[in-house]
A and B are shown apart, each in its own frame.
Chain A
Amino acid sequence: MLVEGKNICYSYAFGGFSFALRDVDLNIARGEFVAILGCNGSGKSTLVKHLNALLQLQQGELKVAQIDVRNEKEVWLLRRRCGMVFQNPDHQFVAPVVEEDIAFGLENYEVPRNEISGRVRSALARVEMSGYEKRAPNTLSGGQKQRVALAGVLALDPEIIIFDEATAMLDPDGRQEVIKIMEKLHRAGKTIIAITHYVEEAVAADKIILMHQGRVLACGSPQTVLTNLDLMKEAELIPPFPVRLYYDLQQAGIYLNRCPLTEEELVEEICQFKSKI
């Protein structure tokens, strides 16, 4: 397992009684695309901030890429293996020019000068932002900013990439851009961890970890988690549009063959149903 966590507990008021995480177990295999789904305050951001030691483990065990997150000597290596893209596109730039911003991480890891520009260029190519090297980040759209932030992470060639609600503040086009790149990186073999409360974004994941009030409520395929109405209700989430429609049609005596998760599956099911009338 690339990520192995056991009995993780965390409290922001250390020693207090309110826990942001309670007894969380976490297992993520190399190359997996995992969506961590939950409402505001469910503990999903708190959990992933443990993966690269942005939050210190208080209780339990956690190993990421064979590194114990409590080992302070290896925290630099850990952060290189486990990159993170944050929610707000405007809060993660450190340089006035795109290429310098991407080079920042490389310089910190003392990557040789002559290698840097090549790695910056290839990182930009992977997020489909070639040609933007000299632009100022503030002149980019939201989706472009997030892709540049991602390029900064990719330049360090991490094994795991965490997206902490990285699409929440984007317009519809920007969201699509980021999701497309996320899926591309997954196909290329990266381990992807996406935190979201947009159920639609969890549909493409290999596995969903559903969180509520600091606990893991369920862990399973999108089909088993997202089509379970009781579970979604308990998690204080609204099921994907096609799932809602499937159950509302049932109420009206219309039984589709199976519960669709995507818009395309929904259309297919409806067409099939119609052809049988």
Chain B
Amino acid sequence: MSIQIENLSFSYLQPSGEKVDALKNVSFTIETGDFVGIMGPTGSGKTTLLQLLAGLRLPTSGRIYFNGEEINAKGYDRNRLRQTVGVVFQDPEYQLFATTVEKDVAFGLKESGLSRQEATDRVRWALETMGFDFEKVRNQSPLALSGGEKRRVAIAGVIARKPEILIFDEPIAGLDPFGRENFLQFVTERNQTGTTIIMTSHNMEALAEYTKHLLVLKEGRLIDAGATREVFTRLKQRYNGAFQTKAQRIAILLAEGKLMFSPAVVTYGDLLSALKQELTGGGRG
């Protein structure tokens, strides 16, 4: 499922009557099977963009095309749109509502046309994919689970419909290192089976290590887009150190000490191999 965005703008109306431009004339293309990260400070329009992509808001102006079809056009099948795009919001814990885990995950399958058996199999698959023991967890109340488990149930409910596009808003905020790693491994696997992934994050390491392309938003404008590595090497001219990876910051500090510096150092692995070269006498100097 390729996505094409043309001159997309969105304005909120404040209760005071003041108009706030959350997105200004944004255009980009996402190819089928891509893994796209969206970065930018709080208030830069990331969540608004995700909501527009999921068809949850109507743009003030501009167009969104899925496989060449405009999703906000009159004749476009909204049901199909809901099947195509799965969204996991920030704090997905709050998306849960049913009396049992199984019912919660199955809810999204109601209009899917699957038989009862197929639906149960799908729920089992989704929960097992998220690391649960299906028989153990199916009759539990989702509200009695821990925060991390609730999050995984919420994600199971979204992937159960096997959407072609999976959208995550700040999925790893608040997760500990292993939780983060597990989640990123999971989306990478989904991505490798052909699902298009779109994810916002404030974690520069996660974006640098896992995404293929990056969109950078600032004050509602798309200020950069491209292959992740290239965007990161360009970023330092646009933002202060906070929007660099740790490896980049260290490489820059080393350059100030007249040591190795390669603009290509973006990830931990890059820095480690550059240092090995430099410090075993293989580098210049």
Q: Mark A75-100, 1 if CB is under 8 A from B, else 0.
A: 00000000000011000000000000
Tally of contact residues, B, Cβ under 8 A: 39
B259 near A: Cβ within 8 Å? Answer: yes
A245 near B: Cβ within 8 Å? Answer: yes
Q: Are A168 and B173 CB-contacts (below 8 A) given A244-B268, A274-B259, A274-B279?
A: yes
Q: Are A168 and B257 CB-contacts (below 8 A) given A245-B272, A249-B276?
A: no
Q: Mark A159-203, 1 if CB is under 8 A from B, else 0.
A: 000000100111111111000000000000000000001000000
A143 near B: Cβ within 8 Å? Answer: yes
Q: What's the nearest-Cβ distance from chain B to residue A18, in Å? A: 11
In the complex formed, the residue of A with least CB distance to B91 is A88
Of residues 145 to 167 in B, which have CB atoms within 8 Å of A's CB atoms?
Answer: 146-148
Q: Mark B30-56, 1 if CB is under 8 A from A, else 0.
A: 000000000011110000000000000
Q: Are A270 and B243 CB-contacts (below 8 A) given A41-B148, A169-B170, A249-B279?
A: no
A271 near B: Cβ within 8 Å? Answer: yes
Q: Mark B190-206, 1 if CB is under 8 A from A, else 0.
A: 00000000000010100
Complex interface: chain B residues within 8 A of A41 (CB): 146, 148
Of the candidates A237, A249, A252, A270, the one whose C-beta lies within 8 Å of that of B254 is A270
Q: Mark B236-258, 1 if CB is under 8 A from A, else 0.
A: 00001011001101100110010
Of the candidates B176, B271, B278, B281, the one whose C-beta lies within 8 Å of that of A236 is B176
Q: What's the nearest-Cβ distance from chain B to residue A236, in Å? A: 5
B280 near A: Cβ within 8 Å? Answer: yes
Q: Mark A261-277, 1 if CB is under 8 A from B, else 0.
A: 00110110011011001
Most buried by A among B42, B147, B173: B42
Q: Are A252 and B276 CB-contacts (below 8 A) given A141-B43, A245-B271?
A: yes
Q: Are A169 and B250 CB-contacts (below 8 A) given A253-B280, A271-B259, A273-B279?
A: no
Complex interface: chain B residues within 8 A of A263 (CB): 246, 249-250, 253
Docked Cα-Cα span, A241 to B270, in Å, equals: 13
In the complex formed, the residue of A with least CB distance to B257 is A271
B179 near A: Cβ within 8 Å? Answer: yes
Q: Are A40 and B170 CB-contacts (below 8 A) given A248-B272, A264-B253, A266-B250?
A: no
Q: Please determine whether A141 and B42 come into contact, CB atoms closer than 8 angstroms.
A: yes
Q: Please determine whether A173 and B279 come into contact, CB atoms closer than 8 angstroms.
A: no
In the complex formed, the residue of B with least CB distance to A271 is B257
Docked Cα-Cα span, A102 to B209, in Å, equals: 41
Q: Please determine whether B177 and A277 come into contact, CB atoms closer than 8 angstroms.
A: no
Q: Please determine whether A197 and B176 come into contact, CB atoms closer than 8 angstroms.
A: yes
Q: Please determine whether B202 and A254 come into contact, CB atoms closer than 8 angstroms.
A: no
Q: Are A270 and B279 CB-contacts (below 8 A) given A39-B177, A39-B178, A172-B202?
A: yes
Interface size class of A (residues with CB under 8 A): 35 or more
Q: Are A40 and B278 CB-contacts (below 8 A) given A141-B41, A238-B177, A270-B259?
A: no
Docked Cα-Cα span, A262 to B146, in Å, equals: 33
A222 near B: Cβ within 8 Å? Answer: no
Complex interface: chain B residues within 8 A of A264 (CB): 253
Q: Are A267 and B202 CB-contacts (below 8 A) given A173-B41, A254-B275?
A: no
B175 near A: Cβ within 8 Å? Answer: yes
Complex interface: chain B residues within 8 A of A5 (CB): none
Docked Cα-Cα span, A263 to B246, in Å, equals: 8
Of the candidates A143, A169, A273, the one whose C-beta lies within 8 Å of that of B173 is A169
Docked Cα-Cα span, A40 to B178, in Å, equals: 9
Q: Please determine whether A40 and B147 come into contact, CB atoms closer than 8 angstroms.
A: yes
Of the candidates A87, A142, A274, the one whose C-beta lies within 8 Å of that of B285 is A274
Q: What's the nearest-Cβ distance from chain B to residue A23, in Å? A: 22
Docked Cα-Cα span, A143 to B202, in Å, equals: 13
B226 near A: Cβ within 8 Å? Answer: no
Docked Cα-Cα span, A143 to B43, in Å, equals: 11
Complex interface: chain A residues within 8 A of B243 (CB): 172
Query: Which positions in B face A, CB cutoff 8 Å?
Result: 40-43, 91, 146-148, 170, 173-179, 202, 204, 240, 242-243, 246-247, 249-250, 253-254, 257, 259, 268, 271-272, 275-276, 278-281, 285
5 closest cross-chain pairs (CB), A and B? A172-B242, A39-B176, A238-B177, A197-B176, A142-B42
- 19 interchain pairs (CB within 8 A)? A39-B176, A40-B174, A40-B176, A141-B41, A142-B42, A171-B41, A171-B242, A172-B204, A174-B42, A175-B242, A176-B242, A238-B177, A245-B271, A263-B250, A270-B257, A270-B259, A270-B275, A271-B259, A274-B278
Other CB < 8 Å A-B pairs besides A252-B276, A267-B253, A274-B285, 15 of them? Answer: A39-B178, A40-B174, A41-B148, A88-B91, A143-B42, A170-B42, A171-B42, A173-B240, A237-B176, A252-B280, A254-B275, A263-B246, A267-B257, A270-B259, A271-B254
